[in-house]
Each structure stands twice: as C-alpha cells, then as structure tokens.
Amino acid sequence: MKISVCGKGGSGKSTIVTLLAGEALARGYQVLVVDSDESNSGLFRMLGFDQPPTPLMELVGGKKSLKRKMGQPSVLAEASILIEDIPPPHLLKRDGLMLVSIGKILQSLEGCACPMGVLSREFLKKLALKADELVIVDMEAGVEHFGRGVETSIDSVLIVVEPPFESLEVAKKIHSLAAGIGIENTWAVLNKVPSEEIARKLEEELKKRGINVIGCIHLDPEVFKSSVEGGVVSKGRAAEEIRDVLDSMLSRASQQPSS
C-alpha cells in the first residue's frame, strides 16, 4: 500500500507521516518513508535518523541531467524497483524503518522543482511492494504535486486538515484532484484539534465538501516538544490517536477493489 500524506503548509504532514510510520512499524510492517518535499529538510530528524539519505536525484545524475531526460518515457532504467534494490547511501534503515529522499532545492535561482516531481512520480510508479511493506510519502505543501502526476501510483491519499479555514480549501482541491485521477481512498485526518467543538465543526465543513474524516489528532504538547528537541514522538495523545487512524485506513483500503 502506498499512502500519500498531503495538505496545507504547516498542517502537520510530516508529523502525521512520523506517527503513522511509528505505528505501522510497531505492527510489524516494513515501512518506507519517501521524503518528497523539496523544501523542508527536517524529516530525517523527526524519524530518529542523525543524517539525511543521499537524495535519489543523485542516482539519476542530478537535476540538470534529469531535466534532459524528462521527455523520455522512462527516467529510471529499471521496469520495477524493489526496496532492497535501492543502494545504501540513498536508503537509510533503522529497525524496519526506511527513509529515502527525492531531493531538495538548496540554492536560490536553482530553477523549478519539476524534475523532483517527475522523479517522485517515476520512482513511486516503479516501486514494487511485498505484502508486509508500506510506503508513506511526505508530500510538499499544497496541490502542485498533483499537477506533476506524483500520485498516479498512490492507493490512498490522507489529507491533513488543521483548524484554519484555508486548510479546508486546500483539502477540497486535493480531494477533487485525487478523484480526477481515480483515487477512491481519499480521507481527511484532523490535526492540532484543540476541542471537540472544533473537531465537530471541521468534520461538518469537510462533509459539505464531500470529504470523509478518518480520524482526529488533538493538539499535543508532546508533539510540539519533540519538534523543538528533535526525535521521534512515541508517547502522548497523538501517538495513541494515530492507532485508530491507521486501523481505519487499513480496513477501508482493504474494502476497495484492488487495481
């Protein structure tokens, strides 16, 4: 199963990715996190690694080289890729948790992020999974990745929605773009929820936009603390609440016909 975690900037995508990865790992899954956000670089720390992986972009000769190859039908030579085929500096591993990164924009005037989108799309499309493997993709903020086709091989889209209204509008766009490419498993998870009243309101607003809520993660001081100190959130309310989110996702996804 390949899950894309998306939503408005700062809504908590990387936090939800980290929490989901930790929970899936505890259930015995081999979890590959794909860092597909070209701007932020802190995900490796949140997952408990002390350095980032070498970006996959370097496997294909860097951004300039990929830009030249973008018109070709295949930017990665192999027809399909297994996780174990990804060479070590590009694949970090720790107790069943694995991390790859597509690439980061490091310099000003470096040009657009389109090559990263192409590489994310091709990599995810060719990645063949075994039954106990789960892929969780930390997407860049907003909706541009849909325009680049990154989600074409994704089974499930999880939209992270936080209280500000703007988050609902981004959710609506993501939902309709996901439907447009035929993804039926698109759900929202509420995050940073301060009260039951706000949770109800958000759920109502999402329902009006045709989006089902799969779970609710409250505002949790443990999450905030770990973002200051660095490292994994393994205790606290959010770490408990993510269990129900993963349960619901796995059970609903298994009710959909497999493609």
Ligand X SMILES: Nc1ncnc2c1ncn2[C@@H]1O[C@H](COP(=O)(O)OP(=O)(O)OP(=O)(O)O)[C@@H](O)[C@H]1O
Per CB under 5 A, residues contacting Mg ion are 13-14, 40
Mark 5-42 as b/e (b = at least 16 C-beta within 10 Å): bbbbeebbbbbbbbbbbbbbbeeebbbbbbbbbbeeee
Q: Is 73 exposed, middle or buried (0-12, 13-18, 19+ CB in 10 A)?
A: exposed
User: Which option in Mg ion, ligand X, none does residue 4 bind, with CB closer than 5 to 8 A by kind?
Assistant: none
**Quick one: 240 or 247, whose CB is closer to ligand X?**
240
Other CB atoms within a 10 A radius of the CB of residue 161 amount to: 27
**Quick one: 1 or 238, whose CB is closer to ligand X?**
238
User: Which option in Mg ion, ligand X, none does residue 52 bind, with CB closer than 5 to 8 A by kind?
Assistant: none
**Quick one: 4 or 15, whose CB is closer to ligand X?**
15
Cβ 137 to Mg ion shortest distance, Å: 11
Cβ 204 to ligand X shortest distance, Å: 20
**Quick one: 132 or 166, whose CB is closer to ligand X?**
166
Cβ 104 to Mg ion shortest distance, Å: 12
Cβ 36 to Mg ion shortest distance, Å: 10
User: Which option in Mg ion, ligand X, none does residue 103 bind, with CB closer than 5 to 8 A by kind?
Assistant: none
**Quick one: 155 or 162, whose CB is closer to ligand X?**
162
User: Which option in ligand X, Mg ion, none does residue 9 bind, with CB closer than 5 to 8 A by kind?
Assistant: ligand X
How far apart are the C-alpha atoms of 139 and 175, rounded to whole Å? 15
User: Which option in ligand X, Mg ion, none does residue 105 bind, with CB closer than 5 to 8 A by kind?
Assistant: none
Q: Which residue is nearest to Mg ion (CB)?
A: 14
**Quick one: 44 or 198, whose CB is closer to Mg ion?**
44
DSSP string, 169-218: HHHHHHHHHHHHTT--EEEEEEEEE--HHHHHHHHHHHHHTT--EEEEEE
Q: Which residue is nearest to ligand X (CB)?
A: 227
Tokens 């995810």 sit on residue: 124
Residue 100: name the closest of 75, 68, 67, 133 by CA: 133
**Quick one: 40 or 152, whose CB is closer to Mg ion?**
40
Which residues fall within 8 angstroms of residue 120, CB to CB, at 6 or more apart? 34, 36, 102, 137, 145, 148, 150
User: Which option in ligand X, Mg ion, none does residue 101 bind, with CB closer than 5 to 8 A by kind?
Assistant: none
User: Which option in Mg ion, ligand X, none does residue 15 bind, with CB closer than 5 to 8 A by kind?
Assistant: ligand X
How far apart are the C-alpha atoms of 74 and 87, rounded to whole Å? 19
Cβ 223 to ligand X shortest distance, Å: 4
What are the residues binding ligand X (CB under 6 A)? 9-15, 37, 40, 141, 191-192, 217, 219-220, 223-224, 227, 238
How far apart are the C-alpha atoms of 40 and 55, rounded to whole Å? 13
DSSP string, 26-77: HTT-EEEEEEE-SS---HHHHTT-SSPPPPGGGGGTHHHHHHHHTTSS-SSS
